[in-house]
Structure formats: C-alpha cells, structure tokens
Structure 1
C-alpha cells in the first residue's frame, strides 16, 4: 500500500496560511533539500483545489520558460496529480484528474493503486486535516519557522478530537527553522500529576549527585 507524505510550511504559532508572505526569508539550500524529500520517490501528488490552482498557475509556465527550476517543474508535470474538490473541474496541466466520490473511500483506493512510489502532498491543509483524522496520512513533514505570524488559518483547528503523533526525525537549519517529521501514533499513556511528581523527584535526586 502506498504511503501518503504531506509537507507544510508552518509558523511557530501554528499558522499555515499564505506562507508566501512570511516564508521566503528562511528559504535556503537546507530547506530546498527537505522540500525535495516530500517529492522524492513520489509517483502521485494529492492536492486540495486551492493548492492545485496555485501550482497549476505557476509551474507549467516555469517548465516552458526553461529556467533554473524547469527540471523541477517538469518533474511536477510528469507526476500523476489528483485533486480534491466538491465541484467539477477542468484541467489544462497534464496528468491531472479529479478525485471522485467520498474522500476517505477514494483516498483509501488511491493508496492501493499500483506503483512503488508514495503519494506526496504540499499544502492542502483541509485535506491533510481530514486524512489525519481518518488515519490515512502516514508522514507529516513540518518546516516550523521561527516567526509568530499572529493571523491566518492554523494547522489544527479547535473543537476536534486530539491526534497523537510520534516524532520520527528532527533537524535544525542554520536559519532556525525546525524540520520535524511525524507519524500517527497510539494514544499517550494515562499519566497524571502524581506520575509527574515522581519523575521530578528522581530528577532532583540525580542532580544532587
């Protein structure tokens, strides 16, 4: 079964909206390599409509222009691109199609489709939320920027059930950006204040020696 790997730019206060307004001062070669890992080995990209429209409005022209990012643009163009939308879409960018039917059922079927590559995601926050809640997202790559944007949509909205995650890897870039990779996890152990006090007591004893 294919893995779904999602990558997001996120501010320190959890904001993920409009990263073009606060993200670029932190972009360097380290981040470029990290962003590339979301695509490396992917044979399919899964998008929400707004993110797809943003990509489709830029990358085909960059491929045609033949600039320094033309190779990356061609890679995106050659990938299968599946778009989640509640309205019927028309596509001009090659290898694009619309996800049909119920999201959870359709993505479950997509994960079972032939091919050895994984399914990559970039942005598409509403889809990421739904896949996390349904247990269909396998890895969440967060590039946490050292800035509090203080306005805009956050990655996790309020009022929904908690989603426990396990940290797989972490890396600190020279810009202060944290590259954190998470995977879904089982619920946390039922630990309370009394357990915490015992850990604190042991820590004090250790520091006394």
Structure 2
C-alpha cells in the first residue's frame, strides 16, 4: 500500500500562508536537501488548485531557462500531478490531471493502487492536508518549522475543530534554527486530569 505524505513550510505561530514572503532567509543547503528528499523524488504529486497554479506558473519556465534549479524543475515536470479542483482545468504543464470524484475516496484508491509502493507527496495545499488529516488518510506530515512568528495569515490548524493527536517520528535541527519534523496520526491519548499529572511532578521534601 502506498503512503500519502505532505510537506509544509510553517512558522512558529502556525502560519502556512505565503511562505515565499517569510521563509527564504532560512533556506539553506540543509532545507534544500530536505525538499529534494521528498518532492524531488516524488513520482506522484497531489496538489490543491492554488498550489498547482503557483507551481505551473513558475516551474516550467525555470526548467526551460536551464538554471541551477532546472533539474529540480524537470523532476516536478516529469512527476504525475493530480490536481484537486471543483471545476474543469485546461492544463499546460505536462503530466497533469484533475482528481476524479470525492477527495477522500479518490485518495483512498490511490493508497490502494497495486502498481507501486512509492508515496504520493502533497506540497502546500492546506485545505487538502486538513481534509486528509481529519479523515485519517494522511500517513505522514512533514513540517519545516521556522523560528519566526509571522503574526498574520492562514494557519494549518483551524480554530474550533476536532483535536488531531500526532506522533513524532523524527526531528532534525538545521543550522538556521528550522526544525524538520515528521509526524504521523496517532491514537487519542485518552483522558487526563491535573490529579493524574501531579503524580509526575518532582516530590520535594520539606
């Protein structure tokens, strides 16, 4: 069974909107390697409409320009790109297709595809990530946590929504202070009270 994984740039206060406005000062070779290890090796990308439009408006031109980022642009171009959209799309970027049917049903079918065990990667596409997390379909969430409070913009986790417990799989600290965190959805930890917690506090003798 193939896994569905997502990678997001996120600020210390949870903002994921417009990372191009705040994350580039933290982009070094460590982060470049982290992105290459995920999106740079993805055979299939699952993208929301706005993320796809942003990618399609930039990466084909970068590939054609032949600059330092052209090899990465080619990898994205060669990947199968499945776009979540409620309206028909006129694709100009190669290997692009519209997601057919309900999101969770279609992604569950992708997970069960018999032809490959390579993961499907999601970049950005916050609404897609939220829906798959809530449905328990997302297998892995990679957050590149930046040491900056952006103070405005859309956050990954909405207010007044149901709690989603996560389990930390691995953590790495870059020289810039960025944390490269990998999570998977966990089972609920159960109920707890202060009376339960205080038994773990240090017991000082009078």
TM-score (norm: length of structure 1)? 0.94
Tell me the equivalent position of 1:140: 141
Tell me the equivalent position of 1:19: 19
User: Within 5 A, what are the aligned runs for 1:49-128?
Assistant: 49-113=49-113, 114-128=115-129
SS at match of 1:51: helix
Long gaps (5+) in structure 1: none
Q: 2: distance between equivalents of 1:14 and 1:99?
A: 28
Q: 1: distance between equivalents of 2:123 and 2:42?
A: 12
- Report the count of equivalent residues: 204
SS at match of 2:121: strand
Q: State the Cα deviation string for residues 123-162 of structure 1 (Å, max 9, x = none).
A: 0000000000011101100011111111110000112111
User: Within 5 A, what are the aligned runs for 1:38-53?
Assistant: 38-39=38-39, 41-53=41-53
Long gaps (5+) in structure 2: none
Q: Once superposed, what is the RMSD of the aligned Cα atoms?
A: 1.2
Q: 2: distance between equivalents of 1:65 and 1:41?
A: 21
Q: 2: distance between equivalents of 1:189 and 1:169?
A: 23
What is the CA distance between 1:35 and its match in structure 2? Answer: 1.4
Q: 2: distance between equivalents of 1:40 and 1:71?
A: 9
SS at match of 2:43: strand
Tell me the equivalent position of 1:163: 164
Q: 1: distance between equivalents of 2:160 and 2:195?
A: 28
TM-score (norm: length of structure 2)? 0.95
Q: Assess if the C-alpha contact under 8 Å between 2:146 and 2:177 holds in 1.
A: yes
Q: Assess if the C-alpha contact under 8 Å between 2:168 and 2:181 holds in 1.
A: yes
Tell me the equivalent position of 1:181: 182
Q: 1: distance between equivalents of 2:40 and 2:136?
A: 23
Q: Assess if the C-alpha contact under 8 Å between 1:41 and 1:117 holds in 2.
A: no
Larger CA deviation: 31-40 vs 14-23:
31-40
Q: Assess if the C-alpha contact under 8 Å between 1:43 and 1:115 holds in 2.
A: no
Q: Assess if the C-alpha contact under 8 Å between 2:41 and 2:75 holds in 1.
A: no
